[in-house]
Amino acid sequence: METDTFLGFAFILLGAMCGGSFGLPSKFVAKDTPWEVLWGPFFLFVTILIPVLLFPFIADGLFATCREAGWGIIIWPVAFGFLWGLGSMTLGLSFAFIGLSLAYAINYGGQIILGSMGPILIHAPGELAQTHGFVIMAGVAICLAGVVVCGKAAILKSQSTEAGDAEKKRDSATMMKGLIVAFLSGLLCACYSIAFSFGGKVMEISQTSFGNAPWRTTFVITALVLWGGAFSSLAYCAFKLTKNQTWGQLTRAAIGRTLVIALIMALLHDGAILFWGLGASRLGALGVGVGYAVFMSFAIIVGNVNGFLTGEWKKASQQSVRWIAAGLVVLIIGVSVLAKGNIMKTNAAPATDVQEQQATE
């Protein structure tokens, strides 16, 4: 595909807006809607219906590619997709615990840390001893510091409420649980990137046997990751629906509004994947480093803007707001350092499957 820097960044920014906003519609469900009644349909749309109905029109021969690759090859994207599904499910829980703003910051911080290091540690650990490896590790350390700063902001926020001492203790406990869940969800969501590091052969088959452009081949791997995630995310939602006896709410007359919200969330989620692929493919070598940094940084900013606009920080102290702002700045600096490391890595040697696929998250 022809390089077009302006259009490439435009698509990446659009994808980041989708990625940073997919949790926003969840704010508008009825207050008494159980978590699983919204997120169950969301995961059904994201992991099953959209990939099955839409992805074959993007990547020709999607199912045939999987058959030609064989189970021995596709098992790894599916297995890491299972872990990604656990991460996405727990991200949904963290939205309920600590809100959009903090959940996005902590989750994306975790994703950046493991998503950057995981493929290298698995496939090419020796690269960490090279110059670009030290730069990447420095970026990861800065991102980890950013997560810590955001966690400090969360603690200050919970301490600045106007509630009584007993309620403050409950809020603090919920906040701490939410921070842990959000960070773990980020580490698990990073398995999306690791899954792609095992997808070189599948994308090669998609390109050579079915004539797909490189960015289209990524949708075959994306489908495998999402289908793997269906097992974990939908199983948990089914467990919650059974445990809480809320299956019946899926047949209520008022369920239509909830399903529309779940569908909008799913379209935003998968829209981020689509626009990232369109953008990165138009940036050439810039897609690996600079494009990734722009996408992650803007997605973090969008997620926090949505949190502020919906009043999550309305009663928080100015000190906590300053800390979350500082945490976002540190995260963005860390992503930028990672981008520099990825550019150095790309320039040091011809791009390998691992190098190219790392940028797909």
Could you read off the pLDDT of 327-348 as tens digits, one per residue? 999 999 988 888 888 788 777 7
Q: Give the pLDDT band (50/70/90) at residue 90.
A: very high
The pLDDT mean for the chain works out to 87
Domain range enclosing 124: 5-360
Structure tokens at 319: 């000190």
Q: Give the pLDDT band (50/70/90) at residue 354.
A: very low
Could you read off the pLDDT of 24-66 as tens digits, one per residue? 999 999 988 999 999 999 999 999 999 999 999 999 999 999 9
CA distance 215 to 226: 17
Structure tokens at 276: 């990232």
pLDDT of 28: 93
* Total domain count, the chain: 1
Entry pTM: 0.86
pLDDT of 75: 96
Is pLDDT at 283 greater than 70 in this prediction?
yes
Could you read off the pLDDT of 141-174 as tens digits, one per residue? 999 999 999 989 988 888 776 555 556 566 778 8
Looking at 40-54, 286-300, 304-318, which range is the least confident one? 286-300
